[in-house]
Amino acid sequence: MAKLLEDYIDRPTLAAELGVNWRTIHRYENQPDGLPSLLIGGRRMYKLDSVRAWLERRERKPNPTRGRRGA
């Protein structure tokens, strides 16, 4: 039987996964296109699919003109 919250992760665990402090996760939530979260029983939870989608939206492609001197 599947657990109801198996697709969710809590703030300390997410912070550890990303290698940042839990306060950084809190700041990510408060950005204009912030990290989606859910408050359950006083615990902030994050749906893994939503976290992955948020990370993908933040991905930047390299600037192809940067670093090409004299080209």
Number of domains in the chain: 1
Percent over 70 (pLDDT), the chain? 89
Does residue 67 have a pLDDT over 70? no
Q: Is 22 domain-assigned?
A: yes
pTM of the model: 0.78
Cβ atoms of residues 47 and 38 within 8 Å: yes
Cβ atoms of residues 38 and 5 within 8 Å: no
Which residues form the domain of 48?
Answer: 8-58
Percent over 90 (pLDDT), the chain? 72
pLDDT in tens, 16-39: 999 999 999 999 999 999 999 999
Q: Is 29 domain-assigned?
A: yes
pLDDT on residue 36: 96
Cβ atoms of residues 37 and 46 within 8 Å: yes
E strand or H helix at 18: helix 11-18
What average pLDDT does the segment 32-51 reach? 95
Q: Is 17 domain-assigned?
A: yes
